[in-house]
């Protein structure tokens, strides 16, 4: 074989299609598709499991039926009626604009996948703006009370920032009454399908919430809060690698963020004070044991503890002083 042949063969051995990678985005799509299309055996297993569970429940009901002893049927909890909640400043590194987040870095709190301080400002939460002329619009969706979400590709001669190889779809938005109507906020790659937009309030101020319920490969949701500065410029205010809800739990007129993780079944409450996040763990405050689970019911604003033994306790959060107060779970 000649040197010339060796040259091209070596090239082929190293791969001709380096751009053709199986990205995280593709993995996530497959994992989502798996959830949508359970395997045959999974379906069979679910049916079988349903039968088994029904059988077990029937046996348990039969064994535990009160038969004249009413005490046996009542869940007795030793939980205290009022549990204090202590908030503390969040110790987390500050992210720089455009910084690459290494997934190997430690989480800021157990079960919460953020690697940096979720709270950002006009500098590290800066969103670049590009000319509308630079884009080829594919789709748009109005966001009530905010503006219009845009799905587009960049034109070949565009000078807009693009860190992605190829010609991916992008996502951005225009804001009602923005000073430069010929510009748009150029937010990221991907499209709008699966995203939920809503105007809400967080820490006492109006924000745009962008939510993706299935976002990360580990199944966690992602939430981005955007807000305007005094000059009407939009920037990323907070971003979370978990589901997040806003509610004024303590009645001080400022909405707290209730962060709910799948990993480790954690619920955190975030407050903002002088530009700093304060946090408290509902799981810790309510002394939830490792075997028990905790849920947040956003409609009712209640925190529910499900014990392995089958009992359930419900708590609400109250301010002054911050605490969880036990409530009748049947009322919640």
What residues from 160 to 179 belong to the interface with another protein (CB under 8 A)? 163-166, 169, 171
Q: 290, 135 in Cβ contact below 8 A? A: no
| Residues paired with residue 153 on neighbouring β-strands, in sequence order | 136
Q: Is 3 in the site for another protein (CB under 8 A)?
A: no
Which of 239, 244, 261, 323 is in the footprint of another protein by CB under 8 A? Answer: 239
What is the C-alpha to C-alpha distance for residues 166 and 302, in angstroms, rounded to an integer? 47
- Least distance between another protein and beta carbon 4 (Å): 6
Tokens of 103: 């997934």
Query: Cβ closer to another protein: 156 or 320?
Result: 156
Query: Cβ closer to another protein: 11 or 276?
Result: 11
Query: Cβ closer to another protein: 1 or 62?
Result: 1
Which of 85, 90, 92, 95 is in the footprint of another protein by CB under 8 A? Answer: 95
What is the C-alpha to C-alpha distance for residues 122 and 229, in angstroms, rounded to an integer? 8
- Least distance between another protein and beta carbon 267 (Å): 24
Q: Is 297 in the site for another protein (CB under 8 A)?
A: no
DSSP H helices, the chain, are 3-13, 24-36, 40-64, 282-285
Phi and psi for 6 in degrees, rounded to 5? -60, -35
As a residue count, the chain comes to 332
- Least distance between another protein and beta carbon 222 (Å): 8
**How many CA atoms lie within 13 Å of 263's alpha carbon, on the beta-carbon side?**
15
Contact track, another protein, 176-215, x by CB under 8 A: -----------xxxxxxxxx----------------x--x
Which of 53, 73, 101, 138 is in the footprint of another protein by CB under 8 A? Answer: 101
Query: Cβ closer to another protein: 37 or 93?
Result: 37
Tokens of 296: 């947040």
Contacts of 79 (CB under 8 A, 6+ apart): 286, 287, 305, 313, 326
Number of residues that bind another protein (CB under 8 A): 63
Query: Cβ closer to another protein: 3 or 157?
Result: 3
**What beta strand segments (E) does the chain contain?**
82-84, 88-89, 129-131, 135-143, 147-154, 170-175, 183-189, 195-202, 205-212, 222-228, 234-240, 243-247, 256-260, 267-273, 276-281, 293-297, 302-306, 312-318, 323-327
| Residues paired with residue 306 on neighbouring β-strands, in sequence order | 293, 312
Query: Cβ closer to another protein: 124 or 318?
Result: 124
Contact track, another protein, 263-292, x by CB under 8 A: ------------------------------
Query: Cβ closer to another protein: 263 or 306?
Result: 263
Query: Cβ closer to another protein: 1 or 63?
Result: 1
What is the C-alpha to C-alpha distance for residues 324 and 80, in angstroms, rounded to an integer? 10
What residues from 113 to 142 belong to the interface with another protein (CB under 8 A)? 128
Which of 37, 82, 141, 287 is in the footprint of another protein by CB under 8 A? Answer: 37
Residues that bind another protein (CB under 8 A): 2, 4-5, 7-22, 25-34, 37, 39-42, 45, 95, 97-101, 128, 163-166, 169, 171, 187-195, 212, 215, 217, 224, 236, 239
């Amino acid at each position: 074989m000649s040197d010339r042949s060796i040259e091209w063969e070596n090239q082929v051995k190293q791969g001709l299609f380096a751009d053709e990678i199986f990205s995280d985005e593709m993995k996530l799509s497959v994992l989502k598709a798996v959830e949508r299309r359970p395997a045959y055996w999974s379906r069979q297993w679910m049916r079988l499991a349903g039968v088994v569970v029904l059988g077990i429940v029937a046996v348990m009901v039969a064994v535990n039926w009160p038969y004249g002893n009413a005490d046996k049927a009542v869940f007795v909890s030793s939980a205290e009626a009022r549990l204090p909640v202590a908030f503390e400043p969040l110790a987390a590194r500050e992210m720089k604009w455009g910084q690459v987040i290494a997934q190997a870095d430690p989480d800021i709190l157990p079960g919460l996948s953020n690697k940096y301080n979720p709270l950002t400002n006009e500098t590290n939460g800066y969103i670049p703006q590009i000319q509308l002329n630079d884009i080829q619009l594919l789709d748009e969706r109005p966001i009530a009370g905010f503006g219009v979400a845009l799905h587009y590709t960049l034109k070949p001669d565009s000078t807009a920032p693009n860190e992605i190889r190829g010609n991916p779809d992008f996502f951005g938005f225009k804001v009602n009454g923005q000073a430069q109507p010929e510009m748009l906020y150029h937010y990221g790659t991907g499209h709008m399908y699966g995203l939920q937009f809503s105007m809400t309030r967080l820490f006492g101020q109006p924000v745009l919430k962008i939510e993706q319920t299935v976002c990360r490969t580990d199944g966690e949701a992602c939430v981005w809060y955007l807000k305007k500065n005094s000059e009407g410029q939009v920037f990323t205010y907070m971003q979370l690698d978990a589901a997040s809800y806003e509610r004024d739990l303590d009645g001080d007129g400022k909405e707290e963020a209730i962060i709910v993780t799948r990993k480790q079944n954690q619920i955190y409450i975030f407050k903002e004070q002088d530009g700093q996040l304060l946090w408290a763990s509902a799981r810790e405050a309510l002394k939830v044991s490792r075997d028990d689970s905790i849920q947040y019911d956003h409609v009712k604003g209640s925190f529910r503890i499900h014990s392995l033994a089958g009992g359930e306790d419900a708590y609400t959060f109250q301010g002054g002083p911050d605490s969880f107060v036990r409530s009748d779970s049947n009322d919640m």
